[in-house]
Amino acid sequence: MYNIVVVGASGAVGQEILKVLEERNFPVGELKLCATSRSAGKQMVFRGRTYTVQETSVDSFAGMDIALFAGGAASKEFGPAAVEQGCVVIDNSSNFRLDPSVPLVVPEVNPEDVKWHQGIIANPNCSTIIMVVPLKAIKDVAGIKRVVVSTYQAVSGAGMEAIEELTAQTRAVLDGGDYPPKVFPYQIAFNLIPHIDVFQEMDYTKEEWKMVKETRKILHDDQLAITATTVRVPVYRSHSESVNVETIEKLTAQKAREVLAGFPGVVVLDNPARKEYPMPLFCSHRDEVFVGRIREDNSIERGLNLWVVADQLRKGAATNAVQIAELLIKYRCLRGRQ
């Protein structure tokens, strides 16, 4: 059994981490739930037992094996203390993702990278995870020259308050009223916002650069040509992505379907005649990445179009983090016990 601390336990991702640990029957010994002072005192249930959320401090990690950080600034503040006290940190924030001494891991794609961790392993951004799983399947058989991706990201990617904002705003608009945006820069109800996170170089957003830089690191290909446009949509849960892939070798749509269907963690849902394709409503609360609308690109010789959907709170965050924890056990690379 392994002692686990979840930091940010009461947030959207933290709650999902607890569910995933329970569902996957993770061998949890002692469990500690931590968060900011705002959420301290809150009660949460795990395997039928009630736990009280404690305020995270540098002393939260003694005797623990794995610290799962759900996101935000906490890993910057407490990650080093957790490592010092013998934990392996699995961090869902962007704080360490591009640090060359920190592995960035998607278990179906680069599991072996877990082995060279020095105390911290980063969980990639949700939209990156969802895309790299099918990309890896294609890369293995045909190589990849270039990727063009556009995302349709659910509001829950921006946290609990964003979910509430969509609900309250939709009601207000339907009732002819007004609900000024707090989380998003504009009204999200009945709208799309092509702006996730802050604007950075070349007028791309940070979310768009994450998809570029993290994908190159996970696929071990610094030269990969990849460009992204990320968009927030008024959907509660599950991110969707239109992915155009230019391959090095020709890959027919039929062969791509077979390759994707045989890849771990992927479900192919692709039957136009029967109106079968992935949609957020039907892919939520699942751990797989769903791929459909698989077509040969009509405009180039070796290209494919894919429509990819996955629950970004599960595979895009909590499930991926718990899978990394499972790899730590499988590869015997926890720090306190070998």
Known binding site: residues?
10-13, 38-39, 97, 153, 156-157, 232, 312
β-strand pairing of 239-247 with 303-310: antiparallel
Decide if residue 125 touches ligand 2RA (CB under 6 A). yes
**Identified catalytic residue from 117, 239, 285, 333:** 239
Taking the complex as a whole, the smallest distance from the CB of residue 125 to ligand 2RA amounts, in Å, to: 5
φ/ψ (deg, to 5) at 136: -65, -40
Taking the complex as a whole, the smallest distance from the CB of residue 316 to ligand 2RA amounts, in Å, to: 7
Q: Point out the annotated binding site for phosphate.
A: 97
Residues 135-174 as x/- pattern, contact with ligand 2RA by CB under 6 A: ------------------x---xx----------------
Decide if residue 126 touches ligand 2RA (CB under 6 A). yes
Query: For ligand 2RA, which is the closer residue by CB, 157 or 303?
Result: 157
Helix axis angle for 126-142 and 206-218, nearest 10°, is 40
DSSP for 196-263 reads: -S-B-GGG-BHHHHHHHHHHHHHTT-TT-EEEEEEEE-S-SS-EEEEEEEEESS---HHHHHHHHHTS
Say which residue the tokens 């609360």 belong to.
285
Q: Enumerate residues 203-222 that contact ligand 2RA by CB under 6 A.
A: 207
220 catalytically annotated:
no
- DSSP structural state of residue 100: T
Q: Point out the annotated binding site for NADP(+).
A: 10-13, 38-39, 156-157, 312
Sign of CA dihedral 32, 35, 39, 40: positive
- Amino acid residing at 49: R
87 catalytically annotated:
no
**Identified catalytic residue from 34, 126, 220, 285:** 126
Residues 258-297 as x/- pattern, contact with ligand 2RA by CB under 6 A: ----------------------------------------
Rounded Cα distance, 223 and 105, in Å: 19
φ/ψ (deg, to 5) at 103: -65, 145
Helix (H) or strand (E) holding 44: strand 43-46
Cβ(199)–Cβ(188) below 8 Å: no
Residue among 320, 316, 315, 321 nearest 89 (CA): 321
- The residue number whose beta carbon is nearest to ligand 2RA equals 157
Rounded Cα distance, 213 and 138, in Å: 19
Residues 181-200 as x/- pattern, contact with ligand 2RA by CB under 6 A: ---------------x----
Decide if residue 15 touches ligand 2RA (CB under 6 A). no
Query: For ligand 2RA, which is the closer residue by CB, 3 or 128?
Result: 128
Query: For ligand 2RA, which is the closer residue by CB, 39 or 125?
Result: 125
Applying CB under 6 A, which part among 104-112, 124-132, 164-172, 290-298 lies near ligand 2RA? 124-132
**Which residues are known catalytic residues?**
126, 239
What are the residues binding ligand 2RA (CB under 6 A)? 125-127, 153, 157-158, 196, 207
